[in-house]
Structure 1
């Protein structure tokens, strides 16, 4: 197999690039390779984990997107790269009984974009990999949700028999993922209790603890946003411990520096990310953190036909600082490469200006129907703090803009209306 433009990784940036480029260039020019069959917007995984978003309704089939946006989809993981011959290997796909469903394949390219995202960084904490769940993919979020459901059922039975009851959830990491998951879980726990037998008190029996090593949660954001987020979490009876470094994790507890222990039935690791270890095997130049080095044109130095974007790319901005691993950065990089490749296809020179990251701010969700504390963008060095309904609408609009990029305006509008109606005819959380 061969394609002019090949994108490996169907996350926010990779998929948007494939869809927009496919619509521009037409069939046979663009290929997307991914190890999963469907796409979900990664910032919404905390909602999937809490059960407030149904992955079977939210997930978008890559095959469907390929058909509608005129690109070719290849199912399988990247396993090796041969830059000299402009080709790479896609690993085999096996069935549940070990049988080979799709064989190993070789794919040639004229231009290759690596957009393989990131994975969890456990920083060597004993037991972290074995006893925590990280929300890196849909299967992680679904595993968390199903485990929580079972624990809640068990807690109800224990309380009915007057035994020890309740569920202890510990979230390690006070960044956006950890904070949003804590708030979403608190809202969802009340709904779970409503659908149960009435034995559980969500505030007392579903105990949520957020541990953060820095002096405050949401440390990269302005202090006003952090303070507002802390207040909202405390109002929801969520225990927040800052300047707390985890030293060990077992299947029953989390131990922190100083010896204090937190009971834990379910632990989420949201304390950091790193580049996938596979990148170290591709023969490309890597930054200290394991990300692929790219220049201002997002091309890999010494490999002019290979590009990288998103979390797996180490791109230095005009201020000399690395571009942060955010969805908005991946979106902007996808648009930059879109112009580069369209120009290339038309025989025109590439853009003269290098990619420049623009920070439009950060929004933090605090549930489906509650307010959202946020920092909105920067304009000429000025920042605005927004919260409440306006901020919530802004947060939802980010998801809709991503869908618009891959589905188009009309289908995004129809899908949004359909989901609005479905939520009013189904349980507020997924119970199966």
Structure 2
């Protein structure tokens, strides 16, 4: 037996895809040592950040220490950031030294494309809990004004966009201001370079969301390429408008450390994978979640649910490969989300066979909260 076979399975990241990979490996009977590499031994439940501005959630509600999970799963945590790969993926370079592996699963997430001039004037809510708290604090300090909310895309990767949370911040803030009796002091403007924002959610969903904006007095600025942000305005090819607070979600691309690896990349800068989550040309190297680019429809979502499905496929196929075979399990392409607005939610469900969108209702809001509780129990 060579020394390499004693090296652990290494999972890059400590987010949804990474944690689901570990659970699936252990559920599949894997007894090999597993090392997770990430800068913190915590899960930050980012879907819940939409409720921070209203006070429905706090930092303490959304940060889950992973010590108990690591112990239950017999996982070693290497606290560091990844800086690159070498030796055909068998060595991971990190800020705390090199880590050898016998098999590698990349689940280190994506990064935002911050190339738009003046983007420092915008808050990017899904950057983390800190950003959501800045939104909360800014709203509390404002007596009125214009709030601009929008999102961009990666022009080279149709699926590398996360627009759903921005609809939630939009409708959540609108609802919050009404509950506080302050709605009349604020103008809300939703902007997007596409005339049909959120089209990956389906035509019916877009139509319903735009109709809802109109009913709630939310102005729209659609179909114009964004040029820049300034401290007090949004500037597009179709004109500009004033903004006292800008919330913006850029498109996604792959993690920066990919520049220091030989992994194949998609045109949009993600790790190129096949339908089984394998990285072509690399033995026992898989990718799941936001880091990867996968074959499938251009509406394939970048969301935790999709990462979980990919993690199950990758773990199954990796275990087959470690046993001397070749796993061929793929993953279902499925978009499931509840666009929440503090006390009511809109269910959106899409597969290659069907599209379902339900009107906003209280049941879906409570379903989203219930799912959060159940999901976090796995890691507490």
TM-score range, shorter chain: 0.7 to 0.9
Are positions 1:305 and 2:284 aligned together? yes
Q: Which has the higher contact order (CA 8 A, sep 6+)?
A: 2
Shift of 1:289: 0.6
Give the alignment of 1:344-355 within 5 angstroms: 344=321, 347=323, 349-351=325-327, 353-355=328-330
After superposition, what is the alpha-carbon deviation per residue over 1:277-301, rounded to whole angstroms, capped at 9, x for unaligned?
Answer: 3212222111111111122332222
Bigger CA drift: 272-281 or 5-14? 272-281
Shift of 1:190: 4.4
Cα distance in 1 between the residues matched to 2:219 and 2:346: 18
- The verdict on how the C-alpha distance between 1:401 and 1:240 changes in structure 2, with shifts beyond 3 A counting, is farther
After superposition, what is the alpha-carbon deviation per residue over 1:144-198, rounded to whole angstroms, capped at 9, x for unaligned?
Answer: 333333x23xx3xxxxxxxxxx14321122831211111112233345x4xxxxx
SS of equivalent residue, structure 2 residue 176: helix
Cα distance in 2 between the residues matched to 1:106 and 1:280: 17
Q: Is the 8 A contact 2:276 2:331 kept in 1?
A: no
Cα distance in 1 between the residues matched to 2:223 and 2:111: 24
Match 1:336 to one of 310, 313, 317:
313
RMSD: 2.8
- Alignment correspondent of 1:121: 113
Q: Is the 8 A contact 1:62 1:73 kept in 2?
A: no
Shift of 1:238: 2.6
- Alignment correspondent of 2:132: 141
- Alignment correspondent of 1:275: 254
- Alignment correspondent of 1:73: 77
- Alignment correspondent of 1:15: 19
After superposition, what is the alpha-carbon deviation per residue over 1:184-238, rounded to whole angstroms, capped at 9, x for unaligned?
Answer: 12233345x4xxxxxxx42122332211121123222222212222233344433
Q: Is the 8 A contact 2:121 2:229 kept in 1?
A: yes
SS of equivalent residue, structure 2 residue 101: strand
SS of equivalent residue, structure 1 residue 300: coil
Cα distance in 2 between the residues matched to 1:51 and 1:245: 34
Cα distance in 1 between the residues matched to 2:349 and 2:89: 46
- Alignment correspondent of 1:422: none
Give the alignment of 1:33-112 within 5 angstroms: 33-84=37-88, 86-91=90-95, 104-112=96-104
Match 1:386 to one of 358, 364, 375:
358
After superposition, what is the alpha-carbon deviation per residue over 1:58-89, rounded to whole angstroms, capped at 9, x for unaligned?
Answer: 21112232123321222221012123482212
Cα distance in 1 between the residues matched to 2:210 and 2:280: 43
Structure 2 residue runs of 5 or longer lacking an equivalent are 153-162
Q: Is the 8 A contact 2:48 2:62 kept in 1?
A: no
- Could you tell me the TM-score, scaled by structure 1's length? 0.75
- Alignment correspondent of 2:159: none
Aligned pair count reads: 364
SS of equivalent residue, structure 1 residue 237: coil
- The verdict on how the C-alpha distance between 1:69 and 1:142 changes in structure 2, with shifts beyond 3 A counting, is farther
Cα distance in 1 between the residues matched to 2:210 and 2:357: 15
- Alignment correspondent of 1:368: 342
Cα distance in 2 between the residues matched to 1:66 and 1:137: 23
Cα distance in 1 between the residues matched to 2:9 and 2:80: 17
SS of equivalent residue, structure 2 residue 333: coil
- The verdict on how the C-alpha distance between 1:23 and 1:69 changes in structure 2, with shifts beyond 3 A counting, is farther
| Rg comparison, structure with higher value | 1
Cα distance in 2 between the residues matched to 1:85 and 1:173: 34
Match 2:206 to one of 218, 226, 229:
226
Q: Is the 8 A contact 2:41 2:77 kept in 1?
A: no
Bigger CA drift: 274-283 or 110-119? 274-283
- Alignment correspondent of 2:227: 247
Shift of 1:401: 5.3
